[in-house]
Every structure is written in C-alpha cells, then in structure tokens.
Chains A and B, each alone.
Chain A
C-alpha cells in the first residue's frame, strides 16, 4: 500500500516538473527576462562606478550577489500567481499528494530555469566585472546553492502574498531581510577565493542552508498557500 503511494508521488513529481518546464518553454520570456534583468543591472554598475577594472573587481562579488538576489525576487513574484488565477493551485491543495510535496516540482522547474541557468552563465558576467577566471568555479557553485535557498525562502513569501493585491513590494519587504545570511555566505566564499583563501567554510554553510531549506521550507510554503487559499 505504502509502496504504491510512493510510486504515485514520484510519478506525480516527474510529470509535474515536465509540465512546468513545458509551460516555461512555451513562454520563454519568463525565463529570459530575469536573465536580461541580471545583465542590465550589472551593466549599470560600471556606468555608475566608472570603468576602472581594479575597483570593479573588488566590488564584483557584492554586485553579482545583490543582483542575483534581486532577479530571484522577480522570479518569486510570479511563482504561484498563474496557478492561483487558473485554479490549479486549489486542485493541488485538494489532491492526494501532500501540498508540501506537491509544490516541489514547480520549485524544481523554476530553479532549473532560473537559478541553474543564471549560475552557469554567471562567469561571463563575472568576467565583465573583472573577476578572474580562476574563481569562476566558486562563483558557479556558490550561486547554484544560493539561488536554491533563495528560491525556497522566496517561495514561502510568495505563498503568503499570492492572494494579496499588489503583493510584489510586500514580498520584497518580507523576504529580503531573510536573505541576509545567504548574501553574507555567498560573498564571503567569493572574497575568500579572490584573496587566495579557502572558500569551503562558506560553501559548506550554503550547503547546510540548502539542506535545511529543503527540509523546512516546503512545510511553510504549504501552510502559506493554505492561508492564501483560505482553506
């Protein structure tokens, strides 16, 4: 009996992930726009700070992480909106699969389309800011984990504000304070790598964040969605 249920959940997750990915492929602007935003804001910094490559490379870790944080915020704002409007969120909440697991495919699909993509192209943005190629691997690994935690935490905020009119700015107010540790650990990893230190501690902390987030955030997301659906 339990075995049958387990397979059920697995198949459900796979089909849902595919569904969400298909939705994104069919409206590519949702995937491309946050990346364009990321690129645009990064271009603004040299324009504002001056083109001196040495100064830019000092500021690069902070700039990259803050901009990654902001583009993640944009993704979180759209996270449950469509599903709430077309009613599929209500169906999801009433399905046999627990809601805390049922939301995971969507998060996975969102992360594949945003966090993963952004992390993989981030060395290019790093090069534009004068970041040496040697730290590219640290940048990619830290962003891979950082974007995952940000998405998990942001989804809690998104779940709580999805039913609210003009919830976007409220979402920023709710979750940006919670992002502080991610920002600190992420920039720390990069700075350590830049100065020839050991970035493992900071990366390990980010890894711990992903694990803890995967464990706790789905419960909070499900509770938040129930509140928004007034169930």
Chain B
C-alpha cells in the first residue's frame, strides 16, 4: 500500500542519493544518535513483536532489540521500534532506516547473499504449519487438496506453500494479503479454508480468533524457519554485537544466571561466569566487541536470560504456552547453543 511504496521509494532514494547511510559503521551511528532503531513486526504478532494497550512493546524480538540497546548503552530503553510489514522490512534495512531487523525473519541463503544482509543468531527455531477450522474435519495437511489458503505475501511461507502442494501433487488457491491483519480477517470470515504461516504465528493468530477452540493447527511442519536478527552485510563490528547479544542470553541460561541472581553471580568462583560477566580483572571481551565491560550483565538485567525471555513471551508464562521444543538448550535436546565466551 501507500506506506510500502513510500518505504520502497525512500529506500531507493537513500540508496540513490544518501551515500553516507550505507557506508558508515552502524555502531558509531548508533552511538552518535543515542539509540538503536529496531525494525519489528508491525501487525501485533503476540509473543514476537506486539504492543499492549498502553503502547508498550513486548515479545521475543523486542527483547533482542532491548538486549542490544542494553549492551551498547547500558540502558534497555534506548531503543526505538519501527513496525514493518513483511514486504517493507528488507528495503527498510537496506536503506539504513533501521539498524537491526528483528521481525521473525527467516534466515535463508538468498537473504544472506542476494539481499545483502548478515544472519547468524537464531532466536526462534520455527517451521511452517497450517491452521484450519475444526468443522472442516481435516486432520492432515495432505487432505487440503483444492483448498483456498490464506497467506501473507513477500514471505518464505508463500514459496514453501507453493512447493509443498506441488511436491505432493495437490492444487490450491492462494489468497494473498500484504498485511497479516487482513489475512486474519479474511480467514475468520471464511474466505479461506486454511491459514498458513510459521507455527508460532499460527498459535498467536489462533488466540486472536473469536473462539480459539474452533481452530486447530495441523500436525505437519512443512519447512525449516530459523528466525533471527539481520543486519546489513559488511559491518562485522555491528554484526558481532547483535549476534553476541543473543548468545549472551543463551549463555546466561546455560550458566543459570537470571535477572534476579545476576549481582550474586558476579561473585561466583566459576571463571567462565566471571569472565562472561566482566568480573575478570584484565578481561577485554567487552572492549573487543566495542562494548562496556559489563555488557552481559546489562543484558541480563534488562531482559533476563533466553529461557526467561522465552517463558515470558511465548512459553508457559504467556498465553501462547509454546513448548521449548527445538528452542531448548542444547544440553536439553534443543538447538539453542551459545559458542564459548572466552
């Protein structure tokens, strides 16, 4: 819509005229302006990026933005959010309108290379699924041949959908919306038989329906969707900060450091923990990253460790009640694994 065109035009204009935006290193830019500009989900995706009735942002992606702000400034409030649609997000990052994209974005090779971004950290391992109304009596996605399927445009979802039906010799009628809200409304009104997006999103959207119990998420997961933050390519300093902000949260969970006990843990005898929290006398980890010495402490104080953030936003402590599954620590059979901090 108009907003998208404006964003795209601004992107084009900035690429065309603003020789400065793309070249300066993001960390200096961020420090100069005094806040992190973070691109997040603009359609209230509960658990990842959503505003409550008071206008406060919350979600897994929001916590990551706050963690970066806490690491850089020691103050998690020094972050501004730019709500973006699936389509707007890439031009916004390319043009330098945002410093960091944390908008449940799937890491794929074409986005990593062709679009000119860098991905490494994965703050949620997801997969694409289908939601249907229970009254249809459908028990498997393989029974969906001939169905109308609501999908958001400009997503990997749209491509997986086409591939899945094609590889299973089924046909379908796509009903494509740019904004998630309109897709929700259309599915609710019976315009489509099934709704497809990342499974986490389906749980979130299901809660928005008038009667969530009338809807069910089918068992098939048809794709790998590692969701994570993206930054512009060729800015490894900034890329390191964003990546390690996430790993700090994961490592904190592994070490058992929480918001509540972080001050106590500083006195820990464990050298790994002391180094991580910047308590080792001659540690240069923070300085090497371009951050204050207590960067990890600030992150944990602001948003907690990964497990705390997960529980609060999408896990047992939230209405979504999503199990840890793939997002458990590697020690507990999941994929969340922080490289050593030394």
A and B assemble together: no
Instruction: Identify the B interface with A (CB < 8 A).
Output: none
